[in-house]
Amino acid sequence: MDKLKAFFQNKVTKIVLMSICAVSAGGLILGGITTESINGLIVAVGVVISAVTALIAYIAGKVK
């Protein structure tokens, strides 16, 4: 898990991810999606990631 965390904290990785996010958001806006919808989607993705992380932590605690 530490290697994955280190990968996403890498400066180059952050720049690439932000570039992809900006291009994706631009495409969605040009396609007619509102910025409120995009913000809601970002929040939803964050909630899903948090839920998966909590589930993994719970399972890892039960396995030990």
User: Nearest 5°: phi and psi at 33?
Assistant: -85, 135
User: With b meaning 16 or more CB within 10 Å and e meaning fewer, what string describes 36-57?
Assistant: eeeeeeeeeeeeeeeeeeeeee
Q: Where are the domains of the chain?
A: 1-33, 34-64
Question: Are 5 and 11 contacting, i.e. CB atoms less than 8 angstroms apart?
Answer: no
pTM over 0.75: no
Is the pLDDT score of 38 beyond 90?
no
Is the pLDDT score of 24 beyond 80?
yes
How many beta carbons lie within 10 A of that of residue 8, not counting itself?
A: 9
